[in-house]
Chains A and B, each alone.
Chain A
């Protein structure tokens, strides 16, 4: 696996600005929401974090999965646009080095956005609420949970982006999946296992079983991706 090489490829692709802007936007979602309707919300009973997440998390989560969709598409677009990937395939390296490097970069980028958003939520808590000691532990726990729940989306979106040389097809599939995921609010059953829907859960909804499910999905997708790559190699 070579992280440095994959990272060097992303120069000027707009990948980093996209995640910085997306993360900043996500951080401002609760700020704007609180500024607009602070009298109503602070009056609610319940934990400050619960109130904040209740009001903002579906918006933030949607932003994050959209970012992952866009990020994965960007990563493979630069491979296919001028066939850079074909040059790489003629070099003495294995395809999974490239895939693993991309996975790591997309994971770190989406974690970065989550950190920014957590800072935004923390700021709202300090500014608008009477917070207790456990506010920050729960806030960090929320970030940790969502990080794990994000991984299935990262890996499956990378797989989708790698299958279609035309970025618009991958992007279209990704956006469709995100919209399917937003329907989770009305259906809490099987759809919450849908990778794109997982990051919509907060620390108050998700439990350890969800984390295990996310880890299992990552392993399953990695194996499926590996199998498909084997088949691709055999059929070219």
Chain B
């Protein structure tokens, strides 16, 4: 069963199409890696799921619910981190999470649970604007994880983290479906990163879906078409490059 499903989802800004006829299938209980270069349309797609931006055409269903009719019901099930973390700089990390907790109507203990999970416990009394880049990212993640929502949408969650932090957060994301029975949609620029976390992969370029399936299917397909498969990054670059050529050499 698919937790998130889109049909010909399209978003245009004027005559520029950021997301084009996207049909995604994100299985329940999986980590779905959403891969693509800068400007591919990853954040735009995620923003549509959250109602932050409105689709130009096409539809999507989340847990069987339809947007925009069931917007609030959909948002009840999603924890999200989109682009740079969004927070209140004049509040501490803990107070920021407290705001979200109150809106979600969760028990008080939820805040500490989330802080613990992202390793921010000892800094919870510090003002969020005084957080380092990585700490802000962790705060954003804690806001997404708050109350263990059945769906997580994480846009480049390892952005700004140090190598140890990256490893820690990847491990956390990998473990989420077993721990909380949730579905995770996570975006990244790196196939090597997605490989470590994801069960399913969707590759996006210039708003078009180039591939959807498991890593093995991706490797098989690539081998058949004569791409380098020993090095994942090279394979990904070759795939994107070929698509760019097909689009008339534009980047």
Q: Decide yes or no: A92 and B73 within 8 Å by CB, A4-B102, A5-B102 being known contacts.
A: yes
B52 to A8, Cβ gap below 8 A?
no
Q: Nearest-CB distance from A76 to chain B (Å)?
A: 12
Q: Decide yes or no: A90 and B103 within 8 Å by CB, A13-B90, A81-B89, A82-B87 being known contacts.
A: no
A207-B197 Cα distance, complex, nearest whole Å: 69
B80 to A82, Cβ gap below 8 A?
no
Residues of B within 8 A of A91 (CB): 75, 100, 103-104
Q: Is A89 an interface residue (CB 8 A)?
A: yes
Q: Is A12 an interface residue (CB 8 A)?
A: yes
Q: Decide yes or no: A84 and B88 within 8 Å by CB, A90-B80, A92-B72 being known contacts.
A: yes
Residues of A within 8 A of B150 (CB): none
Q: In chain A, residues 65-92, which have Cβ atoms closer than 8 Å to a Cβ of chain B?
A: 78-79, 81-92
Q: Nearest-CB distance from B74 to chain A (Å)?
A: 8
Residues of A within 8 A of B51 (CB): 89-90
Q: Nearest-CB distance from B39 to chain A (Å)?
A: 19
A9 to B52, Cβ gap below 8 A?
no
Residues of B within 8 A of A93 (CB): 72, 103
B91 to A12, Cβ gap below 8 A?
yes
Q: Decide yes or no: A235 and B54 within 8 Å by CB, A90-B75, A91-B104, A92-B76 being known contacts.
A: yes
Residues of A within 8 A of B129 (CB): 82
Closest to B105 in A: A92
Chain A contact patch, size range? 20 to 34
Chain A 145-188: CB-based contact to B (< 8 A → 1; otherwise 0): 00000000000000000000000000000000000000000000
Chain B 76-111: CB-based contact to A (< 8 A → 1; otherwise 0): 101010101111111100011011101110000000
A58-B195 Cα distance, complex, nearest whole Å: 68
Residues of B within 8 A of A86 (CB): 52, 82, 86
Residues of A within 8 A of B86 (CB): 82-87
Q: Nearest-CB distance from A8 to chain B (Å)?
A: 6
Q: Is A45 an interface residue (CB 8 A)?
A: no
A83 to B143, Cβ gap below 8 A?
no
Residues of A within 8 A of B75 (CB): 90-92
Q: Is A47 an interface residue (CB 8 A)?
A: no
A4-B89 Cα distance, complex, nearest whole Å: 18
Q: Decide yes or no: A83 and B102 within 8 Å by CB, A13-B90, A78-B90, A90-B52 being known contacts.
A: no
Q: Nearest-CB distance from A234 to chain B (Å)?
A: 6
Q: Nearest-CB distance from A99 to chain B (Å)?
A: 15
Q: Nearest-CB distance from B95 to chain A (Å)?
A: 7
Q: Is A37 an interface residue (CB 8 A)?
A: no
Write the residues of chain B forming the contact surface with A, with a CB cutoff of 8 angstroms: 50-54, 72-73, 75-76, 78, 80, 82, 84-91, 95-96, 98-100, 102-104, 127-129, 143
Q: In chain A, residues 89-120, which have Cβ atoms closer than 8 Å to a Cβ of chain B?
A: 89-94
B88 to A78, Cβ gap below 8 A?
yes
B103 to A11, Cβ gap below 8 A?
no
Q: Is A38 an interface residue (CB 8 A)?
A: no
A124-B50 Cα distance, complex, nearest whole Å: 57
Q: List 10 A-B contacts (CB under 8 A).
A: A5-B99, A9-B91, A12-B91, A82-B86, A82-B88, A84-B96, A86-B86, A87-B85, A89-B52, A91-B75
Q: Nearest-CB distance from A122 to chain B (Å)?
A: 35
A13-B127 Cα distance, complex, nearest whole Å: 12
A236-B87 Cα distance, complex, nearest whole Å: 20
B128 to A87, Cβ gap below 8 A?
no
Closest to B77 in A: A92
A104-B88 Cα distance, complex, nearest whole Å: 20
B90 to A92, Cβ gap below 8 A?
no
Closest to A94 in B: B72
Residues of B within 8 A of A233 (CB): 54
Chain A 196-216: CB-based contact to B (< 8 A → 1; otherwise 0): 000000000000000000000
A89-B88 Cα distance, complex, nearest whole Å: 14
Residues of B within 8 A of A13 (CB): 90
Residues of B within 8 A of A85 (CB): 86
5 further contact pairs, Cβ within 8 A, besides A83-B86, A88-B103? A8-B91, A8-B95, A11-B90, A85-B86, A88-B99
A11-B91 Cα distance, complex, nearest whole Å: 7
A90 to B87, Cβ gap below 8 A?
no
